């Protein structure tokens, strides 16, 4: 309401700032979860009736509500704006005509209001394959309180774009986590970007794809093709501090088994796509460094026709079983490999799989008892090899074999 109509005796205005801030943060939590994409929306507002009532862009509606709250009075504005800008998602790829407007509005807003830059901790930008000016990326990594940066559908073409810092700027950025989805860039360009952080803890390189891929092909420009050897080189500037590493589908260069984590002495969690070729004992020796505590086996493919595609059959089960058996042998052996390994997870049927775009865990398990039973059997087998086992569901939640049995009972036919 206008400030002239505010009742100074109002109960809400007599609440201390500390309590109001907690209340506003709880309200903003939905915004924060929705800002990461539509997975949470599908899980919370799944029925057609709710979709019609709330609309597709529910996350934007909630953000607008927060902004309206900030305009109520100066006191609310001071409390809400830091919360509103803590997590920012510039995402218009579902509505391509809005992309330029969204991007320009974001950069103009933080340029005109420099104080807002102090609030941003978690930033995700969907580039919609737009060719990116390197200066824009450099401005983002300099955000003073940035902790997590996600650059999705980033197209660094031409590859001569330099994302790196000057000698004086090296190791000055605060962000500790960086992630990519649908990246099209030369590895050396991303390696330069890796020179910014003081200490990078998480590197997430999701499935790679570009418009020129097809199911049997690969990136047409050799300089833009990635493989696991190139990933190793890209990680070198941050290898001493890296703790979490996720490598998705990188294309069709089959050198997954040559990849080694031993160059990263503090690495604790590795998620590795193993759909390229059958793993070997020597490959496990390279993957299971002494510091590694959790290994997640990713069974997703990626193609321009089908998006992210996954299945769990006897073939995938055998891969998981062999890795666990070899991990047990390595851990018990005379060397240092796998000495800290405690958990092995399976990431399957979790991202736009053959069951479609649905994101409820129930949707993936209900009606497919054969897959569910095989997944349970696989998790129980991993436990017999001495490791805590879990399935990573579409929401990111972890489920044990017992969880799946109790939460997803046998379907009725």
What pLDDT, in 10s, does the model give residues 298-309?
998 766 566 667
Q: By the 8 A CB rule, do 263 and 237 touch?
A: no
Q: How far apart (Å, rounded) are the C-alpha atoms in residues 353 and 288?
A: 28
Whether the predicted pLDDT of 295 surpasses 90? yes
Q: Is 57 within 8 Å of 89 (Cβ atoms)?
A: no
184 beta partners = 155
99-103, 318-322, 390-394: segment of lowest average pLDDT: 99-103
Residue 131 has pLDDT above 80, yes or no: no
Residue with the bigger pLDDT between 219 and 143: it is 143
pLDDT at 200 over 60: yes
How far apart are the two ends of the chain, measured CA to CA in Å? 55
Is 134 or 115 the better-scoring residue by pLDDT? Answer: 115
Of 78, 85, 89, the closest CA to residue 116 belongs to 85
pLDDT at residue 400 above 80?
yes
Higher pLDDT, 210 or 41: 210
In the prediction, which pLDDT does 159 show?
64
Residue 51: what pLDDT? 35
Q: How many residues are recorded in the chain?
A: 413
| CA–CA dist 323, 357 (Å, integer) | 30
> What does the pLDDT average to over 143-165?
87
Q: 29 or 227, which is more confident?
A: 227
Q: What is the mean pLDDT of the chain?
A: 80
pLDDT at 276: 79
Q: For residue 216, report the phi and psi dihedrals to the nearest 5 degrees.
A: -105, 5
| pLDDT range class, residue 316, cuts 50, 70, 90 | very high
Q: Which of 62-71, 128-137, 238-247, 354-363 has the lowest mean pLDDT?
A: 354-363
Kindly report which listed range (135-144, 211-220, 389-398) carries the lowest average pLDDT score: 211-220
pLDDT at 161: 80
Do the beta carbons of residue 317 and residue 325 sit within 8 Å? no
Q: Which two tokens stand for residue 362?
A: 């129930």
The residue that leads in pLDDT, 149 or 69, is 149
């Amino acid at each position: 309401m206008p400030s002239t109509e505010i009742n100074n005796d109002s109960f809400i205005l007599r609440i201390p700032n500390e309590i109001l801030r907690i209340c506003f943060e709880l309200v903003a939590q939905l915004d924060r979860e929705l800002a990461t994409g539509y997975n949470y929306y599908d899980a919370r507002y799944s029925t057609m009736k709710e979709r019609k009532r709330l609309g597709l862009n529910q996350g934007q509606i909630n953000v607008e509500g927060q902004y309206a709250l900030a305009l109520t009075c100066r006191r609310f504005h001071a409390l809400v704006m830091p919360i509103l800008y803590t997590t920012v998602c510039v995402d218009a790829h579902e509505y391509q005509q809005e992309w330029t407007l969204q991007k320009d509005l974001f950069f103009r807003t933080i340029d005109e209001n420099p104080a807002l830059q102090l609030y941003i901790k978690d930033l995700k930008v969907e580039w919609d394959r737009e060719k990116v000016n390197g200066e824009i990326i450099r401005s983002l990594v300099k955000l003073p309180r940035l902790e997590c940066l996600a650059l999705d559908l980033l197209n660094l073409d031409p590859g001569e774009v330099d994302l790196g810092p000057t000698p004086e700027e090296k190791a000055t950025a605060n962000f500790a986590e960086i992630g990519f989805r649908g990246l099209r860039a030369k590895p050396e360009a991303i390696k330069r970007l890796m020179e910014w952080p003081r200490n990078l803890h998480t590197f997430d390189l999701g499935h790679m794809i570009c418009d020129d891929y097809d199911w049997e092909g690969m990136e047409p420009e050799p300089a833009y093709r990635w493989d696991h050897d190139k990933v190793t080189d890209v990680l070198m500037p941050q290898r001493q501090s890296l703790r979490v590493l996720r490598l998705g589908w990188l294309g069709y260069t089959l050198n997954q088994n040559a990849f080694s984590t031993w160059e990263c002495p503090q690495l604790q969690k590795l998620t590795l796509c193993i759909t390229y070729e059958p793993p070997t004992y020597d490959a496990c020796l390279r993957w299971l460094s002494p510091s590694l505590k959790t290994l997640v086996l990713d069974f997703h493919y990626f193609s321009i026709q089908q998006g992210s595609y996954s299945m769990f059959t006897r073939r995938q089960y055998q891969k998981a079983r062999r890795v666990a058996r070899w991990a047990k042998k390595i851990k018990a052996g005379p060397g240092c490999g796998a000495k800290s390994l405690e958990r092995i997870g399976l990431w399957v049927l979790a991202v736009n799989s053959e069951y479609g775009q649905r994101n409820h865990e129930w949707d993936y398990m209900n009606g497919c008892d054969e897959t569910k039973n095989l997944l349970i059997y696989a998790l129980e087998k991993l436990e017999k090899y001495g490791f805590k086992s879990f399935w990573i569901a579409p929401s990111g939640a972890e489920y044990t074999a017992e969880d799946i049995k109790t939460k997803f009972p046998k379907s009725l036919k």
